[in-house]
Amino acid sequence: MSSLNPFEPSDLFHTQNINLDPFVENFPIFFYLEYLILNPNYVFKSTETLSYEQLSEHISGYIIGKVEGSQEYHSHISALAVDNQYRRLKISSNVLLECFKNISDYISKVKFIDLFVKCDNKLALNLYENIGYNIYRRVIGYYDNIREPSLKSTNNDNLDAYDMRLCLERDNFQSMKNGGPNNRCLPKDVVFK
Ligand SMILES: CC(C)(COP(=O)(O)OP(=O)(O)OC[C@H]1O[C@@H](n2cnc3c(N)ncnc32)[C@H](O)[C@@H]1OP(=O)(O)O)[C@@H](O)C(=O)NCCC(=O)NCCS
């Protein structure tokens, strides 16, 4: 059975296996530490007990997020990853994302949760859509580190991101107004009031 625990700086040395998956976002170490200092509620891990006698535990997944915006006050998921050997056991949907939603809804009381997912990450898209997230817009060239993207560029599932949102009750679906996969924008347009 999975348990939820706060993420600690030393856990960064025990998540390399998880981070080898090409769909997992890898960041410089200061990024994780900054999140831990500024948004401790939003950085946590799931663990599995391997041996009750020795009380040894293994990190099966983690989630990293933050709150941002004032008028568009919301929480943002910056990274979500589950170890390959613990996948398809609902650790993401029933443990990590469920807890993230509860903190967002009942503690921070935000309007919505958002995240970016590569358009070709079908597995993650399925996961988010299954639990109620909707595509708000397509961000052209979000993952393109080489060229300056333009709205005239054709869609490229490997370089574009879907900005997905889960509207919480107090938002009354306002944050999804005019949203959808045909709502295209550039990375520079992703700013929050
Ligand atoms: C995406 C990821 C986080 C899913 O974690 P998980 O704990 O295995 O997901 P869950 O068990 O909660 O799966 C929930 C749903 O997601 C979808 N899903 C998850 N894995 C899938 C797979 N291998 N194939 C098809 N659908 C899949 C299914 O709809 C599944 O529901 P179902 O099992 O009832 O069919 C995990 O595969 C991962 O770490 N991937 C690499 C990193 C990544 O893509 N992160 C998201 C970036 S935004």
Question: What residue owns the CA closest to ligand 1's atom 40?
Answer: 81
State whether 32 and 95 are in the same domain. yes
Instruction: Give the number of other CB atoms < 10 A from CB of residue 80.
Output: 22
In the structure, what pLDDT confidence band is assigned to residue 75 with cuts at 50, 70 and 90?
Answer: very high
Tell which of 87, 110, 133 closes a domain. 110
Taking the centre of ligand 1 as the mean of its atom positions, its distance from the CA of residue 53, in whole angstroms, is: 31
State whether 78 and 143 are in the same domain. no
116-158 pLDDT tens trace:
999 999 999 999 999 999 999 999 999 998 888 889 889 999 9
State whether 127 and 184 are in the same domain. yes
Taking the centre of ligand 1 as the mean of its atom positions, its distance from the CA of residue 89, in whole angstroms, is: 9
In the structure, what pLDDT confidence band is assigned to residue 53 with cuts at 50, 70 and 90?
Answer: low
Taking the centre of ligand 1 as the mean of its atom positions, its distance from the CA of residue 123, in whole angstroms, is: 5
State whether 84 and 155 are in the same domain. no
State whether 139 and 72 are in the same domain. no
- Rounded Cα distance between 49 and 175, Å, is 40
CB-ligand 1 contact for 20 (6 Å cutoff): no
Q: What is the mean pLDDT of the chain?
A: 94
Structural domain span for residue 166? 116-193
Tell which of 84, 110, 136 closes a domain. 110
- Nearest-5° Cα angle at 90, 79 to 103: 55
Taking the centre of ligand 1 as the mean of its atom positions, its distance from the CA of residue 109, in whole angstroms, is: 26
Question: Number of folded domains in the chain?
Answer: 2
CATH number at residue 45: 3.40.630.30
Please identify, by atom number, the ligand 1 atom nearest to the C-alpha of residue 116. Answer: 48
Can you give the pLDDT at residue 179? 93
In the structure, what pLDDT confidence band is assigned to residue 112 with cuts at 50, 70 and 90?
Answer: very high
State whether 148 and 75 are in the same domain. no
Can you give the pLDDT at residue 52? 66
Tell which of 110, 128, 159 closes a domain. 110
State whether 76 and 6 are in the same domain. yes
- Burial label, 57 (beta-carbon count in 10 A; 0-12, 13-18, 19+): middle
pLDDT at 43 over 90: yes
